[in-house]
Chains A and B, each alone.
Chain A
Amino acid sequence: DAKTTQPPSMDCAEGRAANLPCNHSTISGNEYVYWYRQIHSQGPQYIIHGLKNNETNEMASLIITEDRKSSTLILPHATLRDTAVYYCIVVSNNAGNMLTFGGGTRLMVKP
């Protein structure tokens, strides 16, 4: 699976949009981009995933560049409860859902 690169930490003001970047320059055509987050002392939680097109759900939006070498997770109105570690993961469609977690981005939402 392609490796991802994320900044180790970011801050965001409460109520503002949080934009979390992820580089996956070696992604191949059959690999999806997944985002999970892990709130302190909990297991990881699925947020969103995409292949080529931008995606939106009730939690977040995922913007994937046209060349698919990077993506951005957007939390449109961050709250204090969004403070967590956010993991960007690239998974191929023959990996049996085997997620490989990197270090993630620690997002701190501040009042």
Chain B
Amino acid sequence: GAGVSQTPSNKVTEKGKYVELRCDPISGHTALYWYRQSLGQGPEFLIYFQGTGAADDSGLPNDRFFAVRPEGSVSTLKIQRTERGDSAVYLCASSLTGPWSNTGELFFGEGSRLTVL
């Protein structure tokens, strides 16, 4: 399909383990975003890439969280030493351009649900 693809759709892990979540953006989209959504709340911004570089990582909660986008397309969100509080749906989005264009439309994937036991 032509949409944003996220894998895995579900991930169950144990406390202390390492986790990688993958995002395939829409082809040609230069901007890529990671959000985290806890149950009953709106999505919370984590990090934004423009091309290969992280233009804004102010939303990453601590140094256990890291994201890369080495070739300016696929991105991987990496979580070290997972904690139960990391359990959430991790959403990826992409947009055609960035920084700002007034089309402003972000295309979201369906998310990766992470459960830390």
Q: A-side interface residues toward B, CB under 8 Å?
A: 32, 34, 36, 41-46, 49, 51, 85, 87, 91, 93-104
Contacts and interface: CB of A to CB of B under 8 A. Distances in A.
Ranked nearest first, the 4 interchain pairs of A and B with the lowest CB-CB distance are A43-B108, A101-B42, A96-B99, A46-B105
Interface string B30-49: 01010100000111110010
A41 B45 contact: no
A55 to B, nearest CB: 12
Contacts of A96: 31, 48, 50, 55-56, 98-100
Nearest to A43: B108
Contacts of A104: 42
Given A96-B55, A96-B98, A97-B95, A102 B42 contact: yes
B104 A32 contact: yes
A51 B104 CA distance: 12
Given A43-B91, A98-B45, A99-B106, 12 more contacts: A36-B106, A43-B93, A44-B43, A46-B104, A46-B106, A49-B102, A49-B105, A96-B55, A97-B33, A97-B101, A98-B56, A101-B35
A41 B100 contact: no
Contact of A97 (B4, B41, B43, B98): B98
A36 B104 CA distance: 11
Contacts of A51: 102
B76 to A, nearest CB: 18
Given A49-B104, A91-B104, A99 B45 contact: yes
B31 A97 contact: yes
A102 B42 CA distance: 6
Nearest to A85: B42
Nearest to A93: B100
Interface in B82-117: 91, 93, 95, 98-102, 104-111
A87 B45 CA distance: 14
A69 B40 CA distance: 27
